[in-house]
């Protein structure tokens, strides 16, 4: 089995105590505890590489993107002036990244390889976005040695079925490469829970999140395919695409046991932690 662990992990700053202002530390205690549990399960699965789907790295119109540089590095400041924030560096699994890129292309999906800076990709370093850094902070990124990563950015213009096909292609590439991998959907959900939030209030955010919680709890990620795109947009979610890709990757790797570890919306966006282990 190539895929040995799956997860849905949030990427809001409240998930990391080191990023919180003192008055915020209690707001997402359930999420912080669940992220620690995800890290324990990740370690127990002992993946050789981590494949992470992020909504906040490069955006290429009409195309999925696979990062093909040699490394990633990024920092996030703390809301607490007494804290220095967090920093993480990661090695990209270039052979696996290129294999995933090629598998997506062979499936007829639009995809590009993306690097940054140095003209020689084998020495290039990509900026690490917060939706990559925060999950990796808990899921292998601070291990010594840390598993190398592959970062894939979905294309929101593509249909739900295409996102699932992309996940299937990711699992197929890992299988062909003979790699034990963890597949992580970095996802925050409805972003319209509070009028005071940067996106204002949306009455669709709460029912969107409730439906996602129900689907994850029942282990039926395939039901996400039936979501109307207008519903996703009105909820101001940035999770649907990555969850569909996770569904495809898990679907291509056998039977799974899903466990919802936490859900909370302590501020304007919803955060959910879930693990997926081989049945």
Q: pLDDT per residue over 115-145, tens digit each? A: 999 999 999 999 999 999 999 999 999 999 9
Q: Can you give the pLDDT at residue 253?
A: 64
Token pair 């530390």 is found at 25
3-state secondary structure of 136: helix
3-state secondary structure of 96: helix
**CA proximity to 218, closest of 169, 264, 268, 257:** 257
Query: 154 and 163 in contact (C-beta within 8 Å)?
Result: yes
In the DSSP assignment, the letter for residue 237 is: -
Q: Can you give the pLDDT at residue 252?
A: 67
Domains, the chain, ordered by start: 3-278 (3.40.830.10)
- Which residues does the chain have with pLDDT short of 50? none
Q: Can you give the pLDDT at residue 279?
A: 83
Q: pLDDT per residue over 176-191, tens digit each? A: 999 999 999 999 999 9
Query: 272 and 10 in contact (C-beta within 8 Å)?
Result: yes
């Amino acid at each position: 089995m190539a895929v040995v662990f799956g997860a849905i992990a949030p990427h809001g700053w409240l998930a990391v105590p080191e990023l919180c202002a003192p008055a915020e530390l209690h707001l997402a205690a359930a999420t912080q505890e669940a992220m620690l549990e995800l890290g324990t399960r990740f370690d127990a699965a002992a993946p050789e590489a981590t494949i992470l789907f992020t909504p906040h790295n490069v955006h290429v119109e009409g195309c999925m993107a696979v990062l093909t540089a040699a490394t990633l590095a990024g920092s996030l400041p703390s809301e607490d002036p007494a804290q220095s924030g967090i920093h993480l560096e990661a090695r990209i699994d270039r052979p696996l990244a290129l294999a995933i890129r090629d598998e997506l292309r062979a499936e007829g999906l639009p995809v590009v390889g993306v690097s940054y800076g140095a003209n020689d990709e084998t020495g290039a370093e990509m900026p690490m976005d917060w939706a990559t850094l925060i999950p990796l902070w808990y899921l292998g990124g601070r291990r010594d040695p840390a598993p190398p990563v592959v970062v894939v950015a979905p294309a929101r213009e593509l249909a739900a079925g295409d996102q699932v096909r992309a996940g299937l292609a990711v699992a197929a590439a890992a299988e062909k490469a003979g790699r034990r991998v963890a597949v992580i959907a970095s996802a925050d959900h409805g972003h319209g829970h509070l009028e005071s939030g940067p996106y204002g209030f949306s009455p669709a955010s709460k029912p969107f999140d409730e439906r996602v919680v129900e689907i994850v709890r029942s282990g039926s990620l395939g039901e996400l395919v039936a979501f109307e795109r207008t519903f996703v947009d009105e909820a101001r979610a940035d999770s649907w695409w990555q969850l569909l890709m996770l569904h495809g990757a898990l679907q291509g790797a056998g039977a799974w046991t899903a466990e919802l570890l936490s859900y909370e919306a302590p501020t304007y966006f919803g955060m959910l932690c879930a693990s997926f282990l081989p049945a």
